[in-house]
Structure 1
Amino acid sequence: MSRVDRVETFSQRLRAARMRQGWTQKDLAAASRLSQSAIGNYESGQRRQPSSDALIKLTRALRVSPAWLSTGEGPMQEGGAEAPAGGGAAGGPEPPWPFASISYEAYSRLTEQEKQQIELVLAA
């Protein structure tokens, strides 16, 4: 496990993963299709955890494990492989989608209310 894998808070893990890519907050916002202010709020700790949709966007853009980014559990990347600095959304495999019974495309078509219901179930 690398030094980066042991970061304690979501905001610290997000910033570490972004910096590892060599990206600014603006770069991550563009790659994840989230606002730059949302990225800043996550990194500053003003927003503690993203919605599941935002988490998926961040993990795909940063190419990190959803479990690691969300909770700090496990390796930074699936399989423990280290991505090269300066990598990012344009190259390399996508992190694996954690749900076998529903595709990301199907999830992205859900309404916000349906996504919130899923988040509540997963949080329980």
Structure 2
Amino acid sequence: MSTLAERLSLAMSQRGMSQAELARLCGVSQPSVHGWLSGKSKFLRGENLLSAAAALVVSDEWLATGQGPMERRQAPGPAKSQSARPDPAILSATQDFLERAFAALGKKFSLTAEADLFADVYEWVSEDDRPIDQRNLVDFAQWRAKRDSHRERDEQNGHTSGKVAGADQRRTAG
């Protein structure tokens, strides 16, 4: 498969996934996914690449470059089962948390306006086993800062994003 659009189309058809579902799972708009599939976007980078590969259960490298096996490799250690479909209970808990947090700040939560925040809180809620009523914005901010510092360190050490960036540079140079 030579283009990103072809690889995405193949993976989506094998999973029976629509553009809308992939967009929701990646935390992007449906027009963004349409751009990926129409060939407007030649590459996926960073979070979008990782999110799309995870949602489609394919290798990051294969999705980014077409090289290597299509199948996603299991990480060493105990395998953590990840469904392509978000857990409805976690979605509900995430919405409840954000609505309460925004109300405490005198604001109204809007999923449309705060989709990235929703995705981050969803990730946090799914990783932490505490009941939602025992969580607060300070806990979330600390978790997010720690996660972001790990991502920055990984990028500086050439993990994931660096590999993708390198593949992108090689492709544009040729």
- Stretches of structure 1 that go unaligned for 5 or more consecutive residues are 1-6, 81-86, 92-104
Q: Give the equivalent residue in structure 2 for 1:88.
A: 84
Residue 54 of structure 1, CA deviation: 0.7
2:31 to 21, 24, 37: 37
SS class of match (1:18):
helix
For residues 82-106 of structure 1, give each alpha carbon's deviation from its aligned partner in whole angstroms, at most 9, with x where no partner exists: xxxxx72459xxxxxxxxxxxxx43
Q: 2: distance between equivalents of 1:56 and 1:107? A: 17
1:43-58 equivalent positions in 2, closer than 5 A: 43-58=37-52
> What amino acid is the match of 1:46?
K
Greater helix content: 2
Residue 9 of structure 1, CA deviation: 0.9
> What amino acid is the match of 2:8?
L
**Equivalences, count:** 93
> Contact between 2:61 and 2:68, CA under 8 Å: does it hold in 1?
yes
Q: 1: distance between equivalents of 2:16 and 2:164? A: 35
Runs of 4+ in 1 over 2 A off after TM superposition: 87-91, 105-110, 118-124
TM-score (norm 1): 0.62
Residue 8 to residue 90, structure 1, CA distance change in 2 (3 Å) = same
Q: What is the percentage of aligned positions where both structures have the same residue?
A: 28
> Contact between 1:29 and 1:35, CA under 8 Å: does it hold in 2?
yes
Q: 2: distance between equivalents of 1:44 and 1:52? A: 20
2:148 to 106, 112, 122: 106
- Larger C-alpha radius of gyration, 1 or 2? 2
> Contact between 1:68 and 1:75, CA under 8 Å: does it hold in 2?
yes
1:22 to 13, 16, 33: 16
Q: CA RMSD in A?
A: 3.0
> Contact between 1:62 and 1:89, CA under 8 Å: does it hold in 2?
no
Q: Give the equivalent residue in structure 2 for 1:84.
A: none
Residue 77 to residue 46, structure 1, CA distance change in 2 (3 Å) = same
**Greater RCO (CA < 8 Å, at least 6 residues apart):** 1
> What amino acid is the match of 1:106?
D
- Stretches of structure 2 that go unaligned for 5 or more consecutive residues are 75-82, 88-146, 170-174
Q: 2: distance between equivalents of 1:17 and 1:120? A: 21
For residues 54-81 of structure 1, give each alpha carbon's deviation from its aligned partner in whole angstroms, at most 9, with x where no partner exists: 101111111110000000111111349x
